[in-house]
Amino acid sequence: MKLTKWMAATALFLSFGVAGCTDDITDEVSQLTRNTDEVSVAYNKDATARISVRVPGAWSASVACKDAAGQETAAWLRLDPAEGVGNGKDYQWITAIADRNLGGEREAVITIVGATRGDAVEVKVTQDDGTFTVKKPVLSGDLKANVASNALLAVEYDKAKGGEPVEMTFTFDGDNRGLAIKNYTGTIEGEGSGKIELPITGTPSDIGVVKLNMKMTIEGKTIFDDVISLNIQSENFIFSMDFGKFVWGGDLMANKKGKCPGGKQVSGQDITGLEEADGEVSVGTDGAGDAFKSLGETYRINRDLVGWQGERVYEHPGYIKLGTGSNNGWIQTPKMDKLSSAPQTVVVSFDISLYDKSDDLILFTAEGAGSVEGGGNISLPTFSGWANAKWTTCTFVVNGATSATSFKWASTKTDGKGRFVLDNISVMSSAVKERTEPLEKVDAERILYTSGANSIEVEWPGVADATGYEVALVPQENPSFVNKAVVPAAEGVDDVFSHEFTDLQPGFYIFEIVALYEPNPEFDSEKVSVLLGTEGFLAGPLKTPEATASATSYAVTISWETVSGASGYKAVLKEAGAVVKEQSVDADALSCTFGELTPDRDYAVAVQALYESKPEYNSEFTADIAVHTPALLTRPVVHLYDGFEVTHNMAIVEWDIDAAQQSDTKTSLQLLEGSKLIYNFSKWGLPSAKYKFPRFVFGGLKANTTYTARIQRISADASKFGDSEWGEYTFTTTAKEDHSDCLFYADFNEHWWGGNGAAIAFGMYPKTEKDDLTGDLTQLAYTSGTPVKNMPNPNSGCGAVPADYHRLFLSQWDASKLPTATEDYMLRSYLTAGILKFGSTENNGYMPIPYMTSLTGPTTVVLTFKSSPYCEPNTSTGDLEVGNAVLDGREGVWVRLKEADGAKIVKADGVAVAAENATDVLVKHKLPAEYGANSKKCFEFTDHEVVIEGVTAKTLIQIYTKLYKATAEYDKYNTPGDRAWIDDVIVKKQ
């Protein structure tokens, strides 16, 4: 048990009296007891802690103290009281009172002895580190050329005892550019923490760096003696960020490895950003997790990200990466508080590059206030390989920026192609333009108003360079009474302004507005006047709305601009000139949708503005706007994929599409058993440019059961096509095969999660890799898996209980040994849908065939299996032979007798094996270009047959890939890893 600190402020109270409280105490002790064996006290003088004792008879207490180095020292802790007499029932309190600690954390031991029995107990007392510390000087405020300095040089200190003399001397190294700072001599007045701030005075003559030599001594000891750089910026400077405090991770743009704490990406709320980067990481490794979601406020403070916002933002040396392989990223600066509330033009520049193989359009926007001149869409060069990466410097003019403005960068793609990197953000005020003519007048046609019985609210568009607007409302019958107001430019929202006039008498009014130019009223705009009225007063029929229309396959939407004075709107839908539907909506609604229409059909829509219950003031209908509901995408033709035979629990379906309409990017899939819906996957992102074949693995099926697979194409652009109708195909699973004639059999078809890489078929993947696997697996929540998606390492386990995963999908192996993860049993072997994947990007893989304990003596056996290099198609074209994204394990796989027990390999793929290779032989497989993968539209396995003589129950046969990464062979095979696929592993007696 450990008690918390008591500060000095409570010391006087605690040191009074030791009489215990007897309330509710009914027990009595026969020996000395205390309430704790450890307490702590703060570093300051008279910091205290309390300890209670109960003892029958007299007692005494003593203290043995140590310094921060653990050496015995003079007493720095005293006790009040140090002795007493107890009755064995009441609590008695001892107050430990500490002296000021000027050094590191130190300890003392209080020994309490009972006189009656001679028993003793100890209590350890720890006093906090009280070392006086001083931080490096920090510059705050602004240093701008030709602007008087408001900068301060601040020195923060902690745990001062008070009274320390402080001296600071300054000299400039070279040209001071008009700046000055006075030497300082003073004393730290009180105990604790504080700050000394010294003003840097003068008006900098020009931009550049001024070197300031500073020496600081405290109590005669030199604390700081170094050069401080004073960066004088342009008077137009507003904001900058060079991400200079970002130091971890691989250097993507230089194509170089980097460093991270512990040699890996770090994450967590406890990461400060000050940890030592002591381990090397690869080029593509992020230095830390998401700066905003995965790390805490301390990290963001130490990376100068206070006030920033973002998502999926990752550290690299001197810049940031945004986005992941499965989602987009964005970041937004703090508000530009150096600007005023008056809109002005600023220039924003930054360095930017897409990520390797990304091709997204990056969006740069002004948030809060202002607009990017010409729009902020950024189209950047694409590239493959970080050796080809280059920065692009972009410069944008932003009009109407204010102190509410911040700037945002974002991508949109969520398939890994929306990643980008960002650096060197600079925001400068634009040179002030000298006006030579008046402002443009407010567009009268765009002045809108809403009337009440005694009020009129007016809305108008902004005018460029206006600093405000003078508005007036004049009664038509009493022009001498004028209701005036000025609306500042800062009050605009998205460059739209408004003002409400209240307490009006019913009637007609003249609204007048002038755009103001504060620097020189001579350039104010012309006055604009329009006639308005309170509720019930309208000057003629309402204006006809300005409308547009759009259509999807089953609906037509008409949208319109606000009409001043309208109480609502009426929209009609026509077919062959006749009205077939109509809708009336409130004044706040500016669109109307007609649904349940027929695809691929001509319609027309129109709208009119309504005025209360007086149809004579209603506007005219707009002219008919012709629209056509798009046709549906063609229904997919569904069938079984002919490269995979249906099993008792798994099938691969394929569907044909009309690619001339669109290259499908989303698909909905269903599987039914009769009328029962087994799976329903809505709008999954498949196929893709990389995996272009529309194929899917349905698994978890029952043997001898009929199913219907249903496929729906999802439109990528609803204005061109609607989603297709469902295509269907019915199939029946087989009976479960009997393999009792085999010594060993593993076709991995029991495992149906993930994709099938050889067939280039997408699959289903559990959303949670730690699911309960004891129930109906078809009822788990699934997400789509790419064709090369595999489950995690089975050694460490998948599912809530790894033994359940082993029982379901690796029953041929002893589940108790699987977690050992050694090459003697199974190592780096990952299950996909019907295939076993060997190895990883960093290492090779092993799969042993369990001991064949049914053998009673030496036996000749035949091992057959299939193997293939681990292949991924070209990322951008989907080509299976040229420019593969991955082509690992090109040489082949190896069969060895890990434990021979007299056995030997005599033949491999029809070729006799030399005696020196009788326990370890390579079997080669074909590469995609050798068997024509593009024409076959899949990756193909190579069949192998290995004859082994003298196999016993103690022979351990192993299939594995070689680890070339650590050898000179690595360059020969040019592979980033040692991965391969294997399937249909069978052992029979010859």
In the DSSP assignment, the letter for residue 420 is E
Q: In whole angstroms, give the CA distance from residue 412 to residue 349.
A: 21
| CA-closest candidate to residue 47, choices 13, 5, 75 | 5
What pLDDT is attached to residue 16?
30
Contacts of 548 (CB under 8 A, 6+ apart): 558, 559, 560, 625
What average pLDDT values come out for the chain (990 residues) when binned by 10 residues?
31 33 50 84 91 89 94 94 89 92 93 86 93 88 85 91 92 90 92 91 84 92 89 83 94 95 94 93 95 95 95 96 94 90 85 94 94 91 92 90 93 91 90 74 91 93 90 87 89 89 92 89 91 84 94 97 90 97 95 97 96 85 97 97 96 95 93 97 95 97 98 95 97 96 95 96 92 91 95 82 88 81 79 92 86 95 97 94 90 94 97 95 95 97 98 95 59 59 96
Residues 638-806: name the CATH superfamily: Immunoglobulins (2.60.40.10)
Burial class (CB in 10 A: 0-12, 13-18, 19+), 59: buried
Contacts of 718 (CB under 8 A, 6+ apart): 552, 553, 630
Q: In whole angstroms, give the CA distance from residue 303 to residue 246.
A: 6
- Residue where the block lists tokens 């080029």: 283
What pLDDT is attached to residue 972?
45
Alpha carbon of 266 to those of 280, 286, 768, 969: distances in Å?
A: 13, 9, 23, 33
Residues 238-429: name the CATH superfamily: Galactose-binding domain-like (2.60.120.260)
What pLDDT is attached to residue 331?
97
Contacts of 588 (CB under 8 A, 6+ apart): none
CATH class of 547-629: mainly beta
CATH class of 133-234: mainly beta
In the DSSP assignment, the letter for residue 979 is -
- Helices (DSSP H) in 203-291: which residue ranges? none
Contacts 24+ apart (CB under 8 A), 223-230: 223/134, 224/134, 224/136, 224/137, 224/155, 227/173, 228/137, 228/139, 228/153, 230/139, 230/143, 230/151, 230/179, 230/200
The region, left, alpha or beta by phi > 0 then psi within -120 to 50, assigned to residue 161 is: alpha
Enter the pTM of the model: 0.54
Q: In whole angstroms, give the CA distance from residue 73 to residue 108.
A: 10
Strand order in the sheet with 77-80: 33-34, 48-54, 92-98, 77-80
Q: Is 652 helix (H, G, I), strand (E, B) or coil?
A: strand
DSSP 352-411: EEEPTT--PPEEEEEESS-EETT--EE-----SSGGG---EEEEEEEEEE-TT-EEEEE-
**β-strands 38-41, 2-3: how paired?**
parallel
- Helices (DSSP H) in 432-537: which residue ranges? none
* Topology at the third CATH level for domain 33-127: Immunoglobulin-like (2.60.40)
The region, left, alpha or beta by phi > 0 then psi within -120 to 50, assigned to residue 524 is: beta
| CA-closest candidate to residue 749, choices 850, 866, 842, 907 | 866
Q: Apex CA 301: angle with CA 297 and CA 303, to 5°? A: 115
Structure token pair of residue 161: 């005892």
HSE value, Cβ hemisphere, 13 Å, CA-based, for 830: 23
What pLDDT is attached to residue 474?
92
Domain spans of the chain, in order of start: 33-127, 133-234, 238-429, 448-533, 547-629, 638-806, 839-989
What pLDDT is attached to residue 502?
95
Same fold, 238-429 and 638-806: no
Contacts of 973 (CB under 8 A, 6+ apart): 890, 891, 964
CATH class of 448-533: mainly beta
